[in-house]
Amino acid sequence: MATRTFKVWRGDKDSGEFKEYTVEVQPGMVVLDGIHRIQAEHSSDLAVRWNCKAGKCGSCSMEINGKPRLGCMTRLNTFAPGETITVQPLKTFPLIKDLVTDVSWNFEQNKRIPPLKPRARDADGNYRMMQEDVDRVQEFRKCIECFLCQDVCHVLRDHKKHDHFVGPRFMIRLAQLEMHPLDTADRVPQMRKEFGSGWCNITRCCTEVCPEHIQITDNGIIPMKERVVDRYYDPIAWFMKKVFGGSKA
Amino acid sequence: MAGPEVSELQTFEHDVLVIGAGGAGLRAAIESSGRGMNTGLVCKSLLGKAHTVMAEGGMAAALGFTDARDNWKVHFRDTMRGGKFLNQWRMAELHAKEAPQRVRELEEWGAVFDRTDKGLIHQRNFGGHRYPRLAHVGDRTGLELIRTLQDHGVHQGISVHMECTVLDLLKDGDRVIGALGYWRETGRFVLFKAKAVVLCSGGVGKAWRVTSNSWEYTGDGLAMAYLAGAELMDLEFTQFHPTGMVWPPSVRGTLVTEGVRGDGGILKNSEGKRFMFGYIPERFAPETADTEDEANRWLKGDKEARRPPELLTRDVVARAITREVKEGRGSEHGGVYLDIASRLPAEQIKKKLPSMYHQFKELAEVDITAQPMEVGPTLHYHMGGIKVDHDTQMTTVPGLFAAGECAAGLHGANRLGGNSLSDLIVFGKRAGEFASEYANSNDAGKVNDEQVKAALRRATDFLNREEGPNPFVVQENLQAIMNDHVGIVREGAELSAGLEKLAEWKQEAEKAKAHSASQYNAGWHTALDLRNLAIASEGITRAALMREESRGAHTRVDFEGEREEWGKYNVFVWRGEDGEMKIEKRERPEPPKGLKEIGYAKIEDLESGKVGADVE
């Protein structure tokens, strides 16, 4: 039976170190399976978050050989045989224990964003929206809230601007609301002042790590930045649009 | 580690406490908060990660957008037939009637379903549903549901207590008046006082080795309700979804949506034969295609053609697959082949089933647009659960409500795909409504310190003892027992032997040792869940032994076929005063005449209005 060695970060906010564990592996195993074998065979108190184990819930976010990944979607056979796999917690959020970090800041951001404010229903009590008008919104709604984009965003990771910028995950939350055909609210002023759209300088790191392959930067953040620019840096065009028509979207 | 004094425990006071934050829990909390209740919502994981997120196919509601012939009566009839007439009639009625308005409400809260060419909600075909009925978003409808409720819910003033596990319900006399839990992060205990408590804790899939369920589904709600004196029912009905992944071993059991078959996917054995034509039950024969040609015409929208046999109810398809494999016609890794590649162009597969494409590509290195999938049955859902009042969702214990998978009654002996997500929003809403009503007319009760102390002692014992078995290994041992003895095909002697093994296993489970401290300690968390798994597993096994027939998801090789006599009974389980598990079969009440006529009507008589036209 083949074996694999993992170097796993163990510790809490005060202290910690990498520890090595070797476990037997079967074909098809993913990094999260390796972590579970370590729990069963070596260290039952190893802390890790996980749920669906199929890339649908976004719980098992971790940094694998330095890259933000989902543990359940990272197969062991993508690494060279004999290569030690290093697993550590997300760096952008405060550590709780081992591979588990305190991601509650993200849930606070969601609360700050004004929710959908739908227009009235059609006369027959239904809403009508054409598929081509919701394709883009549906792309953003694929988000599983793994927060890997938040982890890799240098505004948050390196510059710690958590008080200034909501991060890529919530930029696409804003984008899906702003592009929603039923929505009547206006979040552009807040996007500029409170949610910090200007902080993103489009390095596309978030798009690269998205396990759902959402075009976060090109389809979500850039159009939102454009709306802010149109409104605040081209006020005449904005005024004309407001007076002479042109849809919100 | 010594337990803290009760008076020193961190304490929250709510009017309504909801335990579990999947679709049902979130919907219940939104309702109760909307009715002015101070509402607490507790969940084992982070918000938005509950198993609802895994639901793929859609939510059933007779909106009639994709096929205007649909209405609540046909949905009701489909649900009863799928449940082999063991469902609670009134719940099936309420569900069929109220699902459409609950789905419309989700749109108002931001859900973006796939659209018809007229811009309305597109509805998908699914097993057991007469018409295309499932509102859906590709194959990630559960994510859409949970995120919609979450994003709406965080603005409703609900207090969300994340990564908090409830250990026990607390009682004052006969009434439930709160719960004791612990924070996973710190291991500290927390007391919730509430005038009403709603359980929305999901199922018990983790009792089996091959399951689509995650670590959370350890029967917590069933066990806590049982210990609080509530009755459980229909426990023998555990649904094996016919199509779970079978390869590689590490993902064995992961769900493959029924939507693959709804969109035209077919099942083949190792001889290349489309075998489901050989497994059409008598009851469904008049409405099922008997040639490949007819099945293909149906798929193209021919309203005269009948449905393909791959879309028979889940119990039928799961048994057929099991039989094919047992008789030597299985696939390489012990499943059968599910083929969509030869049925749809690659681009359409990627558009309609994006998450299946992704899942197989990444986890099994299989390209489903070019190759068949290997699939086999996986424990997926529990029809049985806590007995509730049809209308109010109150259990047999005052102040305690239940909704969603942990409650019993809507699905009878077998659940139709798509009826789960609609169950969550229909009965989650009702539970929130009636729990609020109860909270309005009752005061906060008094916590019994002795009960709290006993619960704290039990919890800390796992950490304090010198030695004992590894909780993960103990859990794996249970999964082996349930897989071997209480699987998809059951037999009396096997079940009895299983009960004996469960009794022995329970001793082992009570001795488990959790190492190190209580802070985010996965081993300790697993040890604490073992009691709940034990109670639920014992109840399921006893009920399976009692029901001497094969009906819906419960199959006994020693009692083949449905027995008319058994159609009159539901099996109930409760905790006796001596602390032992009691079980009995109870006669079902006679349904209202109108509902009965609709349930048993021929489809043409129902559609022509010959039957059921006078039922409102």
Query: Residue B220, SS3?
Result: helix
Helix (H) or strand (E) holding B595: helix B593-600
| Contact across the interface for B46 and A45, Cβ inside 8 Å | no
Q: Are A90 and A61 in contact (CB under 8 A)?
A: yes
Catalytic, B261? Answer: yes
Of A53, A104, A130, which is closest to B115 when you measure between CB atoms?
A130
Q: How confident is the model at residue B249 (pLDDT cuts 50, 70, 90)?
A: confident
Sign of CA dihedral B281, B283, B289, B290: positive
Query: Which entry of B130, B184, B209, B241 is annotated as an active-site residue?
Result: B241
CA terminus-to-terminus distance, chain A: 58
CA terminus-to-terminus distance, chain B: 61
Q: Specify the CATH number of the domain A3-101.
A: 3.10.20.30
Residue of B nearest to A58 (CA): B49
What is the rounded distance in angstroms from the CA atom of residue B117 to the CA atom of residue B114? 10
- CATH fold for the domain made of B450-577: Methane Monooxygenase Hydroxylase; Chain G, domain 1 (1.20.58)
**Domain regions of chain A by residue span:** 3-101, 104-244
Angstrom distances, CA of residue A155 to CA of A68, A199, A201, B403? 16, 7, 9, 43
Q: Say which amino acid occupies A2.
A: A
Spelled out in words, what is the top-level CATH class assigned to the domain B8-61+141-239+382-449?
A: alpha beta
Helix (H) or strand (E) holding B599: helix B593-600
Residue of B nearest to A134 (CA): B112
Tokens of B244: 């779970």
**Domain regions of chain B by residue span:** 8-61+141-239+382-449, 246-379, 450-577, 586-616
Torsion angle of the four alpha carbons A15, A20, A26, A28, in this order, in degrees rounded to the nearest 10: 50
| Contact across the interface for B514 and A40, Cβ inside 8 Å | no
Using a CB-CB cut-off of 8 Å, the residues of chain B touching A53 are 214, 251, 254
pLDDT, tens digit, for every residue of B99-145?
999 999 999 999 999 999 999 999 999 999 999 999 999 989 999 99
**CA-based nearest residue to B490, from B278, B313, B235:** B235
Q: DSSP string covering B269-327, please?
A: -TT---GGGGG--GGGGGGB--SHHHHHHHHTT-TTSPBPGGGS-HHHHHHHHHHHHHT
Residue of B nearest to A25 (CA): B250
Q: How confident is the model at residue B3 (pLDDT cuts 50, 70, 90)?
A: low
**A184 close to B (CB below 8 A):** no
| Contact across the interface for A54 and B251, Cβ inside 8 Å | yes
Residues 6 or more apart whose CB falls under 8 angstroms from that of B423 comprise B24, B95, B404, B405, B410, B411
Tokens of B150: 């979450």
Catalytic, B241? Answer: yes
Residues 6 or more apart whose CB falls under 8 angstroms from that of B183 comprise B163, B164, B190
Q: How far is A230 from chain B (nearest CA, A)?
A: 26
Query: Which entry of B261, B380, B485, B551 is annotated as an active-site residue?
Result: B261
Question: In this complex, how many residue pairs, one in chain A and one in chain B, have their CB atoms less than 8 Å apart?
Answer: 175
Mean pLDDT of B205-215: 95
Counts of helices then strands in chain A (DSSP H, E): 10, 7
| Contact across the interface for A51 and B254, Cβ inside 8 Å | no
Angstrom distances, CA of residue B314 to CA of B377, B416, B556? 10, 7, 16
Chain A, window 67-106: residues with a beta carbon less than 8 angstroms from a chain B beta carbon: 73, 75, 96-98, 100, 102-104
- CATH fold for the domain made of A104-244: Fumarate Reductase Iron-sulfur Protein; Chain B, domain 2 (1.10.1060)
Per-position pLDDT tens, chain A of length 249:
799 999 999 999 999 999 999 999 998 999 999 999 999 999 999 999 999 999 999 999 999 999 999 999 999 999 999 999 999 999 999 999 999 999 999 999 999 999 999 999 999 999 999 999 999 999 999 999 999 999 999 999 999 999 999 999 999 999 999 999 999 999 999 999 999 999 999 999 999 999 999 999 999 999 999 999 999 987 777 777 778 765 544
Partners of A70 in the β-ladder: A61
Q: Are B284 and B311 in contact (CB under 8 A)?
A: no
Q: How far is B353 from chain A (nearest CA, A)?
A: 13
- CATH fold for the domain made of B246-379: Flavocytochrome C3; Chain A, domain 1 (3.90.700)
Q: How far is B428 from chain A (nearest CA, A)?
A: 21
Q: How far is B522 from chain A (nearest CA, A)?
A: 5
What pairing do the DSSP bridges indicate for beta strands A85-88 and A61-64?
antiparallel
